[in-house]
Chains A and B, each alone.
Chain A
Amino acid sequence: MTLMALFHESTDTAEVIDELHNLGIPDHQIVVITGVPYPEGALGRQREWLTLPYIVLAGAAAGMLFGLFLAVITPHLYRLDVGGHPPVGFPPAAVIIFIFTMMATIVSTFLGVLWEMNFPRFGPAPYHGLVTDGHLAVIVDIPSQLEEQVKQMLESHHAHHIGEPEWMAL
């Protein structure tokens, strides 16, 4: 079963997460939702490993290759010789390669982070509107035999709105 509880304080939230771990509930069955980004480690959770930097690097490399194609290859595809000028020069090629590398870096960062967050995702999901009013929400999957024990523990840490989470259309 799934339980949701709301908290006013981050300290209470961090203590609850510790106690859930002590009850044998693994980290991946606990979701914490906040309206503010808390510093790393503040709630006693492990950070996810991200593929975003690799996506960005791949995007940058693709952009550089595309810039290289435009600046170095295309002048040879329809060659127009202008007196005294080589078909390809280093300074103009450097500008074009740089710009396309940066453009692809930016675009791949944006697309990469959406992909990592699995966005857009408009379906119903466990959520509470009070989160953006400053409350911290803990959503936890627990075996049903632990329900009463977990509820008591949540209440002892000043949780409110304890119960089955509402699946809201986001």
Chain B
Amino acid sequence: MPEPDHSPLDTPQSTPYDERLLLAQRTDAEINQAVLQPMMQTGMGFWVLVGFLSLVVVWGLYAWGFLVYWGIGVTGKNRPVYWTLFITTFVFWVGISHAGTMISAVLRLLKADWRRPITRGAEAMTAFALMMAALYPLIHLGRVWKFYWMIPYPNNRLMWPNFQSPLMWDMVAIFTYLIGSSLYLYLALIPDMAMGRDHTNGWRYRLYRALALGWRGTEGEWHKLHRALGIFSVAIIPIFLSVHSIVSWDFAVTIQPRWHSTIFAPYFVIGAVYSGLSALASILVVVRRGMRLQEFLRAEHFNALGKLVLVAGMAWVYFWFAGFIVEWYGNEPVVRELIHEEVAGRLSPLFYLQMSANLIPIVLLVFKRIRTTPALLLAATLLVNIGMFTERALIVIGSLQRNDLPFNWGTYRPTWVEISIVAMTFAGFALLYTLFSRVIPFVPVWEIKEGRLRYTVRRIGRLLVPTAAEID
């Protein structure tokens, strides 16, 4: 058998890894410019996108104002379907927010170096998705000015909010996660703000200087920053697990058939991770092209992210089936009716869309070519989120159409007000993200430079392979 043709042993530059960012022969100054330059250049396409998204947001705000003026009756909400498209989208956005912590905190603790270029994008996605999610309880109230009843102080007739209610748990959990993820995003941003301060002028200089807080990069500052990020990484993981668990308990603590399930919390969490990681992959593909970050967001990052999506997808299937088989075997009359509605009734188009959109990407992502080709990865991960949105709609809206009182069964149709408001939050998320990518360095520059300290090429037998040093 002929010997395989290895690369020449004496020239590390000719290894298959020499294009990897952490090994690239780039100076720090070149990396700074490679990140800052795309932020400064905003072509016509950027402003057209911002204009379009702003128009959708303005239209959605009009629809919200219409709802506030005329009352919640302008939505399709009814008895028994009292939670509708608003709560469906709320659950969806909370789910999307889960990838930021997954990528940043978990992979930081595991010292996974491939996380470095994508952490900031993931953290920003978490913060913006939570901002969109936090709007829905306000919108869903109808009388939004009564919101202060949920703030923990003796507000009306010296009454305190009812902390036995899962809706209160929801509010404090989401605010905790929003505060935590925003502070986490900002803390890791401070050294890059100092880099921006040193290389810009005008309004950018003033902004970066204010956000850098006087950062110089002394050993003491780095040491304290590292310690704080370590504490954040540990503390935010139980928060991220608790948030979607609490959202699931909004449903599971009721006696509504198909909601009253002990598996709901982990099922929601794994669904959130599946959906959030997929959304992150989709966003990275788009931002990479829009900001010409091909050097930073490379095939190895998409490959690793694609594998995570694949694993999360398989876990989601397991949890879905574990819940479904118990319900099916139990054969409770209302649950049987709901399953029939999904599998062979009016809800079947949504059910089969959900299953195919969640299962097909799992099969696709098995192939490395799909994971490492941005357009194919984008298609697969967008499909996941179509599936996950449909899944949320089936859980929230589908389940409520049937209950233990057959005379009280009903259906639901969304109105233009609900559709406009949902579109507003999707456009609002995209708008925030678009503006963020032009104001804040999308790639965490200092983390990439730190990663370069760890990497070298080492000879193992006849191969030259990248090797990471074990340093904290």
- Chain A contacts to B: CB under 8 angstroms: 31-40, 43, 45, 47-48, 50, 52-53, 56, 70-71, 74-75, 77-78, 80, 85, 89, 92-93, 95-96, 98-100, 102-103, 105-107, 109-110, 112-114, 116-117, 119-123, 125, 127, 129, 131-134, 170
Is B260 positioned at the interface, with any CB of A under 8 Å from its CB? Answer: no
Contact of B239 among A33, A48, A106 (CB under 8 A): A106
> Which A residues touch B44, using CB under 8 A?
none
Is B242 positioned at the interface, with any CB of A under 8 Å from its CB? Answer: yes
B218 contacts A31, C-beta separation under 8 Å = yes
Residue of A48, A52, A103, A125 with most partner-chain B CB within 10 A: A103
Is B225 positioned at the interface, with any CB of A under 8 Å from its CB? Answer: yes
> Which B residues touch A85, using CB under 8 A?
164
Is B215 positioned at the interface, with any CB of A under 8 Å from its CB? Answer: yes
- Chain B contacts to A: CB under 8 angstroms: 27-29, 32, 152, 154, 157-160, 162-165, 168-169, 172-173, 175-176, 179-180, 183-184, 187, 191, 194-195, 197-199, 209, 212-228, 231-232, 235-236, 238-239, 242, 246, 446, 449-450, 453, 471-472
B213 contacts A121, C-beta separation under 8 Å = yes
B163 contacts A71, C-beta separation under 8 Å = yes
The residue in chain A whose Cβ has the minimal distance to the Cβ of B31 is A134
A110 contacts B242, C-beta separation under 8 Å = no
A119 contacts B213, C-beta separation under 8 Å = yes
> Which B residues touch A106, using CB under 8 A?
176, 179-180, 183-184, 232, 235-236, 239
Known contacts A96-B163, A99-B173, A131-B216; A110/B224 CB under 8 A: no
Other A-B pairs beyond A36-B449, A71-B163, A99-B242, 18, CB < 8 Å: A35-B217, A36-B28, A37-B225, A39-B472, A40-B223, A48-B220, A74-B152, A98-B242, A100-B172, A103-B180, A106-B179, A106-B239, A112-B228, A131-B217, A132-B199, A133-B27, A133-B198, A170-B215
A34 contacts B219, C-beta separation under 8 Å = yes
Known contacts A48-B223, A129-B198; A110/B450 CB under 8 A: no
Name the prevailing secondary structure of the B interface residues.
helix
A-B contact pairs, 16 of them (CB 8 A): A32-B219, A38-B453, A39-B472, A48-B220, A48-B224, A71-B163, A75-B162, A77-B154, A100-B172, A102-B235, A103-B175, A107-B183, A110-B187, A119-B215, A122-B209, A170-B215
Instruction: Give the complex CA separation of A110 and B176 in angstroms.
Output: 13
Distance (whole angstroms) from the CB of B155 to the closest CB of chain A: 11
Contact of A134 among B175, B239, B449 (CB under 8 A): B449
Residue of B191, B218, B246, B471 with most partner-chain A CB within 10 A: B218
> Which B residues touch A89, using CB under 8 A?
164
B219 contacts A43, C-beta separation under 8 Å = yes
